[in-house]
């Protein structure tokens, strides 16, 4: 049995764990990442996390980070959520400040997809797409157990397939991206200035609006139920494109908005039934994510174990 470390670096927190080759978490920790204070501050916190695991013999460490990774060279090419990062030699710097010899770095959304593939809702699957519905829509593509990273580690931008070319402007500059129809941003846009749903005079934080709409749906509010119906239909449209193109067996939906699963499931499945080709549709199962915040940690551990050739 090998032990490895899986580390999930986020904009807010660093979550990390020692994980064995059965996927059992032997020890875990969580500290602030201070990503906004820059990469040096983040690395200091990372060192603290790693030194906390020094009693465990870990042969390899997998690190997930929100950004674009040049995996061959261990370089963090871009990371919009970490201040001051461009072509940062992440692996080299981490080796310098810690005792780690064997490090593998990966995009955080890819790591979460691998986590769900290994130990989560996709553990029976052969090929899987992960959709993380948060502020935006993150994604990861696992084909026959391997991440498809693309030529530059930029594949899996599931949020930026086009759903409707004349749809709303996306943060990426394009119109009608999948992300604009199924993210927290989409919920806020659909709610709009509907004061019957949201009492804006209460000073509600925009981030809390999706949660509020979930509560209202639970209470049976018809307008709120309609909003999740619409999110579900749009999920169905995007998933139709994905499954017709890739004929994967599993799609896993995670992120904060996936808590509204019971409210968007029916309209999502209805839209897919109406639109997708019969063959790929019949093969597909869609699952809510199973690992919550542990998906990234476990995906990174999986990458580390693969690096050690624990799996064939």
- Give me the residues that bind its own copies (CB under 8 A), please: 68, 78, 126-127, 141, 143, 148-158, 160-166, 172-175, 237-238, 240-242, 244-249, 274-277, 279-280, 283
Closest to its own copies by CB, 81 vs 241, is 241
Provide CB contacts within 8 A for 55, sequence distance 6+. Answer: none
Minimum CB–partner distance for residue 97 and its own copies (Å): 29
What are phi and psi for residue 63, nearest 5 degrees? -125, 125
Minimum CB–partner distance for residue 160 and its own copies (Å): 4
Provide CB contacts within 8 A for 121, sequence distance 6+. Answer: 250, 252, 287, 288, 289, 290, 291
Closest to its own copies by CB, 175 vs 259, is 175
Minimum CB–partner distance for residue 165 and its own copies (Å): 5
Minimum CB–partner distance for residue 212 and its own copies (Å): 28
Which string of DSSP letters, residue by residue, matches 71-91?
TTTTEEEE-TTSTT-EEE-HH
Closest to its own copies by CB, 26 vs 172, is 172
Cβ 149 vs Cβ 71: under 8 Å? yes
Q: Which of 159, 152, 176 is nearest to 77 (CA)?
A: 152
Cβ 118 vs Cβ 151: under 8 Å? no
Minimum CB–partner distance for residue 29 and its own copies (Å): 33
Closest to its own copies by CB, 189 vs 283, is 283
The owner of tokens 């931008």 is 157
Closest to its own copies by CB, 106 vs 157, is 157
């Amino acid at each position: 049995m090998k032990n490895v470390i899986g580390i999930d670096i986020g904009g807010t927190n660093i979550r990390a764990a020692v994980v064995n080759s059965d996927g059992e978490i032997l020890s875990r920790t969580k500290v602030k990442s201070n990503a906004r204070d820059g990469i040096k501050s983040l690395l200091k916190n990372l060192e603290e996390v790693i030194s906390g695991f020094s009693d465990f013999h870990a042969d390899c460490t997998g690190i997930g980070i929100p950004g674009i990774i040049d995996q061959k060279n261990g370089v963090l090419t871009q990371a919009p959520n970490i201040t001051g990062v461009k072509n940062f030699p992440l692996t080299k710097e981490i080796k310098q400040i810690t005792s780690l010899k064997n490090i593998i770095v990966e995009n955080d959304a890819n790591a979460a997809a691998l986590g769900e593939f290994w130990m989560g809702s996709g553990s029976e699957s052969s090929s899987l797409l992960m959709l993380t519905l948060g502020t935006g829509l993150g994604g990861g593509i696992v084909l026959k157990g391997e991440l498809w990273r693309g030529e530059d580690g930029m594949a899996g931008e599931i949020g930026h397939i086009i759903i409707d070319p004349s749809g709303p402007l996306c943060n990426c500059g394009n119109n009608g991206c999948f992300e604009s129809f199924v993210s927290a941003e989409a919920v806020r846009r659909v709610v709009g200035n509907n004061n019957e749903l949201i009492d804006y005079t209460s000073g509600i934080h925009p981030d809390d609006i999706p949660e509020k709409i979930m509560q209202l749906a639970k209470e049976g509010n018809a307008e709120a139920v309609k909003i999740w119906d619409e999110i579900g239909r749009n999920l169905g449209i995007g998933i139709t494109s994905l499954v017709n193109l890739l004929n994967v067996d599993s799609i896993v939906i995670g992120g904060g908005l996936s808590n509204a699963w019971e409210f968007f499931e029916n309209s999502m499945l209805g839209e897919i039934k109406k639109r997708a080709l019969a063959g790929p549709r019949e093969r597909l199962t869609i699952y809510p994510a199973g690992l919550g915040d542990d998906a990234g940690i476990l995906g990174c551990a999986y990458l580390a174990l693969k690096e050690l050739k624990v799996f064939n």
